Amino acid sequence: MKRVFQNSIFTLLSIILCFSWNIHAQSNRKIAYSVELGGFYSINNKIPFWLRSNQFGAFPNADNTILFRQNIESKKDTSSKKFKKQFCVDMVTIVGSQAKIIIPEAYYQINYGKLALLAGRKKQIHGLVDSTLSSGSITWSGNSLPLPEIQLSIPEYTKFIFPFLAIKGHYSHGWFGNQASAKNFYLHQKSLYGRIGRPNSKLKLYGGILHNAQWGGVPKYDIPEGDTRFINGKFPTGWYTYRNIVFPFNNPKVDSSSNISAYDTENRFGNHLGQIDMGGDLNLKRMRILFYKQIIFETGQTFSSLSNIDDGLYGISFISKSSTTPFQKVVLEVLQTTNQGMYRAGLLRLLGFQGKHYGRNQNFYFNHGQYLDGWSYNGFTIGSPFLIPNPEIRSEKRDDGQVQLFSNNNNIKAGYIGIHNKLNSIDLETRLSFSRNFGSSNHQLGELGIADQFSMGIKAQIPAPKLHGILNFNVGIEHGDLIYDNYGIYASFKRIWK
């Protein structure tokens, strides 16, 4: 059976390769096609943090594997047609201890004017952040495999009422499918972002909100008698539930004829989290400066009280306008998640503001009492990769209790530097981070309760014109008390046909 499966896989790969090549040959250069062959190695059989983070779930957790990747995507349609199509299929075959086929991207999109309708998996980063070199947008970073979804959006900033005002946003319905603690549950997601300033203005200001929710589905765990997390063996669904997921302003009312549990009436249907973003873009003579602040919220209580506004991601990005300078981009970021609604931020104390939920423990970032997988998909954090899953940290720091949540370390302060260098024709990308980790209100990290962690990743892309491709060399280093010390490499060759 195993051999039949392997033969089927290689046959499928061969068919896809030949089919995609024929499409490319007949497409009049409307399709780009690439193949990549590479391998991982590390000293402790784990891929280092900055080699696997923010890779859209395409890289395995274990090393000593070989990766074969194919990508077919449409080129940008610059014609004057009203309807424009866009598609991509990205397939990764892993050979080794975690042999599998991963499809990080497979979508079809129809664009009509400023609107876009998408179906499938698409690599997306939501939120105001440096999209290429950030440590990761706080609730949707590109760290996990994209969820399959149907999405209606205005993907680019579009003029709204006034010439200096523009908006963009999206509305999605997605599927989590079968996860460790629940199955057949859904994603609801929407965003709305605004820009003040014309496209060519020297200074542009941004602000917006991203709302995510997990809802519906069937739990795969048992609860003791008297537990109120669900009734009738499932989580609520239906249009009444969906309406309260989309507009989670009030707690649902108890109805003895439905499957609304006491847990739902206290906390709202589903698992809600999101972010409020603000920032600006300063366009100078020799560089652009992008600065941003993302505020995380959970369950609606930190959102309504605003007591945790010092939590979130702070960032600034310096982008050179010259392609010949050694430093093309430098990103500096700080992540903090230590407030969690337990105290009022300094600005609120200065203003004398006290929200209605002040002092109520919201120390549950990325975790949930019903959806025990938390804010994750297929074992990967959907948001900032600094909130590492419980199984990925040192054994003596893990929470091995009866109820294991996704992250036993969601109380963090982290600093991050990302650098993009250009040395002649070689592109260098360096990521450095240092985090101080405090566990959570329910779990202490070892005897001291604090774990420091340093992580580094260096990526080099070297053009190989004689081979008509690119050589990639990635190095990752780990040192600290949260993750086991490690050193690993990834090397590959990539060929692109455009």
Per-residue pLDDT of 152-173, as tens digits, reads: 999 999 999 999 999 999 999 9
Span 408-425, average pLDDT: 93
Span 26-45, average pLDDT: 83
Span 478-497, average pLDDT: 94
Region for 280 from its dihedrals, namely left if φ exceeds 0, alpha if ψ lies in -120 to 50, beta otherwise: beta
Span 177-205, average pLDDT: 95
pLDDT (0 to 100) of residue 76: 82
| pLDDT-derived band at 144, boundaries 50, 70, 90 | very high
Which residues have a Cβ under 8 Å from the Cβ of 250 and sit 6 or more positions away? 244
31: three-class secondary structure by DSSP = strand
HSE of 496 in the Cβ direction (CA atoms, 13 Å)? 9
pLDDT (0 to 100) of residue 6: 46
* φ, ψ (nearest 5 deg) of residue 14: -65, -40
- Chain center to CA of 402: 28
Q: Which residue has the higher pLDDT, 217 or 260?
A: 217
pLDDT (0 to 100) of residue 154: 96
Span 355-383, average pLDDT: 79
- Chain center to CA of 259: 32
| pLDDT-derived band at 354, boundaries 50, 70, 90 | low
pLDDT (0 to 100) of residue 117: 97
pLDDT (0 to 100) of residue 11: 38
Domain assignment present for residue 87? The answer is: no
- Chain center to CA of 184: 21
What's the DSSP call for residue 125?
-
pLDDT (0 to 100) of residue 390: 85
pLDDT (0 to 100) of residue 255: 59
pLDDT (0 to 100) of residue 324: 84
Question: DSSP of 411-477, one letter per residue?
Answer: -EEEEEEEEEEEETTEEEEEEEEEEEE--BTTB--TTTS-EEEEEEEEEEEEEEGGGTEEEEEEEEE
HSE of 75 in the Cβ direction (CA atoms, 13 Å)? 13
pLDDT (0 to 100) of residue 357: 52
- pLDDT of residue 1 exceeding 80, the answer is no
Per the DSSP assignment, residues forming a β-bridge with 497 are: 33
E-strand stretches of 148-300: 149-160, 162-178, 182-196, 203-215, 218-219, 271-283, 287-298
- pLDDT of residue 8 exceeding 80, the answer is no
Per-residue pLDDT reduced to its tens digit, 243-295: 989 998 777 776 555 668 878 877 788 999 999 999 999 999 999 999 999 99
Q: Residue 477: which domain range?
A: 32-53+161-167+176-497
Span 60-80, average pLDDT: 85
* φ, ψ (nearest 5 deg) of residue 96: 155, -150
Span 121-150, average pLDDT: 95
Reported pTM: 0.89
The listed range with the strongest mean pLDDT (169-183, 217-231, 305-319) is 169-183
- pLDDT of residue 77 exceeding 60, the answer is yes
Q: What percent of the chain has pLDDT over 90?
A: 58
- pLDDT of residue 191 exceeding 50, the answer is yes
Domain assignment present for residue 384? The answer is: yes
| pLDDT-derived band at 305, boundaries 50, 70, 90 | low
pLDDT (0 to 100) of residue 344: 65
- The alpha helices in 336-395, defined as continuous H runs, are 346-351
Which residues have a Cβ under 8 Å from the Cβ of 303 and sit 6 or more positions away? 274, 276, 297
HSE of 394 in the Cβ direction (CA atoms, 13 Å)? 20
Span 207-214, average pLDDT: 96
Domain assignment present for residue 147? The answer is: no
Domain assignment present for residue 285? The answer is: yes
| pLDDT-derived band at 230, boundaries 50, 70, 90 | confident
Per-residue pLDDT reduced to its tens digit, 86-108: 999 999 999 877 788 999 999 99
What's the structural domain count of the chain? 1
Which residues have a Cβ under 8 Å from the Cβ of 470 and sit 6 or more positions away? 461, 462, 463, 464, 493, 494, 496
Comparing 37-51, 223-237, 291-305, 309-323, the range with the smallest average pLDDT is 291-305
Per the DSSP assignment, residues forming a β-bridge with 191 are: 170, 210
pLDDT (0 to 100) of residue 350: 66
What does DSSP say about strands 312-320 and 287-298: parallel, antiparallel, or unpaired?
antiparallel
Q: What percent of the chain has pLDDT over 70?
A: 86
CATH number of residue 229's parent domain: 2.40.160
Domain assignment present for residue 236? The answer is: yes
Domain assignment present for residue 94? The answer is: no
Nearest by Cα to 272 from 249, 239, 290, 255: 249
- What is the C-alpha to C-alpha distance for residues 218 and 334, in angstroms, rounded to an integer? 37
Domain assignment present for residue 119? The answer is: no
pLDDT (0 to 100) of residue 339: 82
- What is the C-alpha to C-alpha distance for residues 6 and 449, in angstroms, rounded to an integer? 47
Q: Which residue has the higher pLDDT, 320 or 443?
A: 320
Would you state the torsion angle of the CA atoms of residues 15, 17, 22, 24, taken in this order, to the nearest 10 degrees? 150
Domain assignment present for residue 432? The answer is: yes
Nearest by Cα to 402 from 273, 224, 164, 161: 224
259: three-class secondary structure by DSSP = coil
Q: Which residue has the tokens 């972002």?
A: 193
Q: Which residue has the tokens 């399959």?
A: 148
Average pLDDT, the chain: 86
Would you state the torsion angle of the CA atoms of residues 382, 265, 404, 415, taken in this order, to the nearest 10 degrees? 40
